[in-house]
Amino acid sequence: MLAQLIIAHLVGDFLLQNHWMQAKNRSSFVCSVHVGCYALPFIIIVCFGGFPVWALAAILAQHWTQDRFGLHLRWMWAYRQTPPDKWPVGPLCIDQSWHLAFIGTISAFC
């Protein structure tokens, strides 16, 4: 199940996200559209793979909150990690680490 969830995450967060959706931390509407698109591959797993709806709701809520408020950037600042101007891929790495850690935690309870 975890492999399916990781694939769903990668499809939803990369393949189904366009340039306009990159502004998700500036607008709740844009973030909601992004998370709606992000949800599509997960919905397939819920319908055909037996993934519980509560787990999908938790993943979508976490994804929306993290993306809308840029929590990965706040983590980098609070934890005094290398700033984005010196580590350009850092925000992406931290963002994806948090998303995947949450998905892994949720999958442990399914």
What residue segments make up the domains of the chain, in order of their start? 2-108
Q: Give the model's confidence band at 96: pLDDT under 50 very low, under 70 low, under 90 confident, else very high.
A: very high
Quick check: 101 pLDDT over 90?
yes
Is the Cβ–Cβ distance between 70 and 103 less than 8 Å?
no
Q: And the tokens for 72? A: 């990965």
Quick one: pLDDT at residue 68? 96
> What is this structure's pTM?
0.94
Angle (CA) 13 17 18, round 5°: 155
Residue 26, CA atoms < 13 Å, CB-side half-sphere? 4
Cα separation, 22 vs 5, in Å, equals 22
Is the Cβ–Cβ distance between 12 and 37 less than 8 Å?
yes
Q: What is the mean pLDDT of residues 65-80?
A: 96
